[in-house]
Amino acid sequence: MSAIIEDVTARKVLNSRGDETIEVDVITVDGFGRASAPSGASRGKAEVVPFPKGGVDEAVKKVDEVIAPELIGLNAEEQEEIDALLHDLDGTEDFSEIGGNTAYAVSLAVAEAAADSYGLPLFQHLGGRLARELPYPLGNVLGGGKHARGKAPDIQEFLVLAVGAPTFIEAAEANVLVHKRLGRIIGRLDVNFTGGKGDEGAWAPNLTSEEALEALVEACESVSEEVGFECRAGLDVAASSLWNPKEQKYIYARDGVKRDPGEQLEYMREIIGKYRLVYVEDPFHEDDFESFRELSGKVKGCLICGDDLFVTNVERLRRGIETRAGNSIIIKVNQVGTLTDAWATTETAKKAGYLPVISHRSGETTAFHIAHLAVAFGCPIIKTGVMGGERTAKLNELIRIEEALGDRARMPKLTF
């Protein structure tokens, strides 16, 4: 069996928002891998650049003319070497020459081709024989911010985490139940509700943040009772989208409220306590490490997760670890470009006691790779939405992985 690369090709495809993105095929002597890149709407400032000047067409050209000739003849098993080569071929700090999404698609397609060459599932190829822990799915069930329009809430994502689920499939099904029940509750609260959804398949109703939180907690409690294990609420505030640097305030336009950093901190403390939140992502804007530190020191039993704050970047994470800013990190491989980079960040997080949450993006394709990365990297949580084919693609792949692992499958202990 050989994983020697024979060909690398790229094409332009469409994502769940109907935007263009890149897909890459890697063909080895005995295997095949295909990966496509997701894209964000609320991107962090410190993320790598997704595409070179000239967009997806130029990225495809770079694969054909610059990347493919260098990769052909190499062994797809040499992930680190190939990822380092992608950095060399790019030559910049932020992947602006070839594009971070180009690097992502090549890196993932190489990994899948190597796994396929040896007849291994991707999670086992990357994580080894001992990788057998499934993640808890963190599902977006109601949303607004940059993922919706009109009178949807200011806070970007209202999330459910089935913390008590004994298996992955039960957790995924509980999330679906919460989404469905919440739809009915929203219909009661908003008489004009049309069933509209945002980019990630979450309901996008005309509700204030507090109304949305009340409704979410009601749905979680009702489903917890029905399934016999606990489903809890969380948020992605995506506060960089609310932050107005001129006014030095967070603008909640839908709610008609402005909060300075001190008030934002108090508001976060208040809702974490009142709604027993287990997860809050980006409660402050992406440069406010200090407020992350303060909040993490003040709350118990709640993950304070950095997405735009860390952008999967190991240097930014180290800065956070030094001061204990947050206690959890979102891992989005295309925020840094390659698998090796994302793996290094995940390992650094785990060593420092930060819980890594592997994540989709708001613009997704039906690619399933992050399901395998969750298991291979040992991420106890995967954030991947609840509804929509591009979200279900990841959930269904995890259902298959759980089935393949059989008796060896485990759910992680969530301690926070």
Catalytic residues: 200, 332
E-state strands within 47-184: 136-143, 157-161
Q: Given candidates 173, 307, 390, 402, which one binds Zn ion under the rule CB under 5 A?
A: 307
* Identity of the residue, 43 or 197, whose beta carbon is nearer to Zn ion in the bound complex: 43
**Separation between Cα atoms, residue 211 and residue 72, nearest integer Å:** 56
Question: What values do phi and psi take at 241, rounded to 5?
Answer: -75, -20
Edge-first strand listing for the sheet containing 257-259: 243-244, 249-252, 257-259
CB 234 within 8 A of CB 278: yes
Q: Given candidates 15, 16, 21, 42, which one binds ligand PGA under the rule CB under 6 A?
A: 42
Applying CB under 6 A, does 362 fall inside the site for ligand PGA? yes
* Identity of the residue, 36 or 79, whose beta carbon is nearer to ligand PGA in the bound complex: 36
Instruction: Look at residues 143, 152, 138 and name the one whose alpha carbon lies nearest to residue 233.
Output: 138
Q: Which stretch binds ligand PGA (CB under 6 A): 35-43, 188-196, 220-228, 310-318?
A: 35-43
Applying CB under 5 A, does 47 fall inside the site for Zn ion? no
Q: Which stretch binds ligand PGA (CB under 6 A): 14-22, 34-42, 203-211, 391-399?
A: 34-42
CB of 414 to ligand PGA, least distance (A): 19
* Identity of the residue, 236 or 402, whose beta carbon is nearer to ligand PGA in the bound complex: 236
Instruction: Look at residues 358, 307, 356, 367 and name the one whose alpha carbon lies nearest to residue 105.
Output: 367
Q: Which stretch binds Zn ion (CB under 5 A): 47-55, 189-197, 276-284, 406-414?
A: 276-284
Q: Which stretch binds ligand PGA (CB under 6 A): 38-46, 103-111, 264-272, 407-415?
A: 38-46
* Identity of the residue, 43 or 293, whose beta carbon is nearer to ligand PGA in the bound complex: 43
Applying CB under 6 A, does 361 fall inside the site for ligand PGA? yes
CB 86 within 8 A of CB 27: no
Applying CB under 5 A, does 236 fall inside the site for Zn ion? yes
Applying CB under 5 A, does 286 fall inside the site for Zn ion? no
Applying CB under 6 A, does 43 fall inside the site for ligand PGA? yes
* Identity of the residue, 44 or 127, whose beta carbon is nearer to ligand PGA in the bound complex: 44
- E strand or H helix at 170, and its extent? helix 168-189
- Token pair 């509980």: residue: 174
Number of residues that bind ligand PGA (CB under 6 A): 9
Token pair for 180: 């469905």
Contact partner, 40, from ligand PGA, Zn ion, none, Cβ < 5-8 Å per class: ligand PGA
3-state SS class at 52: coil
Spatial CB neighbours of 203, under 8 Å, sequence gap ≥ 6:
141, 142, 143, 179, 182, 183, 186, 195, 196, 197
**Separation between Cα atoms, residue 245 and residue 164, nearest integer Å:** 40
Distances (CA, A) of 41 to 109, 147, 280, 289, 328: 24, 7, 19, 22, 21
CB 16 within 8 A of CB 364: yes
* Identity of the residue, 133 or 236, whose beta carbon is nearer to ligand PGA in the bound complex: 236
Contact partner, 90, from Zn ion, ligand PGA, none, Cβ < 5-8 Å per class: none
Query: Which positions lie near ligand PGA, rule CB under 6 A?
Result: 40-43, 236, 238, 307, 361-362
